[in-house]
């Protein structure tokens, strides 16, 4: 058993050595091959020719091709509008479906400033124009009214007069202190414009009492 182990070890060392040797020869044999080629004959010549072909291929692989036509220089400018610029908690943008207020603040929620935008690029796009999006125009809402989309805070009404959203159905809510919240389910289609008149009516006495009780 011990002999077998030693044999396997030796075999392994031998194979590694031979592999290294091959690598070394293919790596350094490029300049030596033409000399060997001229000195040999018969089968050796054929072998030498093959080697020179390999060497040529290797040479080809390591050659740098500079194509001036493919050089391009570009400059870009990106503008992020909307709630991303508001650094004060809790006025941060949260992806739809996350309800941070229900569970309290947690550092595990997606934060576009902390994580890379490539981590979840869909959440980083904001409400700016995009070809495959639809426009939602919010009118009649007070400037300071808070706008929620699918339960997640999206920003204030004065900053979200025009939103570009991906096609889909959303639950839009607009609320302001002392006013009855406005709720509407909206359906956004690409390339189409939707005008929402979110006029908030003042709260009745009963509603005020309910709000105070909740608080």
Partner 1 sequence: MKPRRCLAISLMCVVSLFAEAPRGTVPRSAADRYPSHAEQNGIAIGVTLLTPDQARHAFASDVNRCCLVVEVALYPPKDVPLDISLNDFVLRVTGTDVATKPSGAKVLAAKLQKKNASPHDRDVTVSPTVGVGYESGPVFDPATGQRRGGGVYTSAGVGVGIGGPQPQPGSSDRDRNTMELELSEKGLPEGIAPAPVAGYLYFSLPATKDKKATHQLEYTLNGNKVVLALP
Determine the Cα angle at 149 with ends 148 and 150, to 5°: 115
Q: How far is the CB of 213 from partner 1 (least distance, A)?
A: 25
Kindly report the number of other CB atoms within 10 A of residue 143's CB atom: 10
Residues 182 and 171 sit within 8 Å (Cβ to Cβ): no
Of residues 46 and 183, the one with the C-beta less far from partner 1: 183
Closest CB 160 distance from partner 1, rounded Å: 18
Q: Closest distance between partner 1 and the C-beta of residue 133, in Å?
A: 10
Angle at 54 between CA 53 and CA 59, to 5 degrees: 95
Site for partner 1, rule CB under 8 A: 131-132, 166-169, 185-192, 194
Closer to partner 1 by Cβ: residue 48 or 198: 198
> 89 preceded by cis ω (within 30°)?
no
Backbone angles phi, psi at 32, to 5 degrees: -85, -25
Q: Among positive and negative, which fits the CA dihedral 98, 99, 100, 102?
A: negative
Q: Is the dihedral of CA 27, 30, 31, 32 positive or negative?
A: positive
Minimum distance from residue 180 beta carbon to partner 1 (Å): 16
For partner 1, give the closer residue by CB, 37 or 190. 190
Phi and psi, residue 58, nearest 5°: -60, -40
* Nearer CB in complex with partner 1: 84/98: 98
| Nearest distance in Å: CB 131, partner 1 | 7
Quote the least distance from Cβ 86 to partner 1, whole Å: 29
How far apart are alpha carbons 6 and 127 in whole angstroms? 69
Nearer to partner 1, 63 or 185 (CB): 185
- Reference 146, options 196, 106, 194, 198; nearest CA is 198
Q: Which is nearer to partner 1, 179 or 194 (CB)?
A: 194
């Amino acid at each position: 058993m011990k002999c077998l182990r030693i044999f396997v070890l030796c075999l392994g060392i031998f194979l590694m050595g031979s592999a290294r040797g091959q690598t070394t020869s293919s790596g350094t044999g490029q300049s030596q091959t033409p000399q060997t080629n001229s000195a040999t004959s018969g089968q050796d010549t054929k072998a030498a020719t093959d080697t020179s072909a390999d060497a040529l291929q290797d040479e080809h692989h390591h050659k740098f091709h500079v194509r001036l036509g493919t050089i391009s220089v570009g400059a870009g400018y990106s503008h992020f509008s909307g709630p991303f610029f508001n650094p004060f908690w809790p006025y941060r943008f949260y992806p739809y479906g996350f309800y941070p207020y229900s569970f309290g603040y947690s550092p595990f929620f997606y934060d576009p400033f902390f994580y890379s935008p490539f981590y979840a690029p869909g959440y980083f796009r904001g409400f700016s124009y995009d070809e495959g999006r639809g426009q939602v125009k919010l009118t009649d809402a007070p400037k300071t009214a808070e706008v929620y989309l699918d339960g997640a805070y999206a920003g204030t009404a004065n900053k979200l007069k025009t939103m570009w959203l991906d096609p889909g159905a959303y639950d839009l809510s607009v609320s302001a202190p002392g006013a009855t919240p406005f709720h509407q389910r909206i359906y956004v289609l690409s390339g189409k414009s939707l005008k929402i008149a979110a006029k908030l009516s003042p709260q009745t006495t009963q509603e005020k009492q309910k709000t105070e009780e909740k608080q």
